[in-house]
Amino acid sequence: SQLLINASRGGIIDENSLLHNRDAPALLIDTWEHEPNISIPLAKKCFIATPHSAGYTKQAKHNATVAIF
C-alpha cells in the first residue's frame, strides 16, 4: 500500500488529480492549494486531513510583527 503525505506547501501536489483518481494512495494532507478554502471533497478522501493554520493564529501574527520590527 502507499501513503502520500503533503506537509510542505499547497499546490505541490495536484489536488484535482488526487480527487478524481480511483487508485490514489492513502492521503495525509496538512497543506492545501487554496488555503484557507480547502477542497472538502478531497479532505473527505483523506486518511488524515488537518488545517495548516500556523500562520493564521494570533500568536503567529504577533511573532511575525515582532520579527518585522
User: Catalytic: 22?
Assistant: no
Set 9, 20, 34, 62: catalytic member:
9
Number of neighbouring beta carbons within 10 Å of residue 10: 16
Set 15, 33, 34, 35: catalytic member:
35
User: Catalytic: 35?
Assistant: yes
Q: Report how far residue 42's alpha carbon sits from residue 68's, in angstroms, rounded to the nearest whole number.
A: 36
Q: Report how far residue 10's alpha carbon sits from residue 37's, in angstroms, rounded to the nearest whole number.
A: 11
Set 15, 20, 22, 52: catalytic member:
52
User: Catalytic: 9?
Assistant: yes
| Active site members | 9, 35, 52
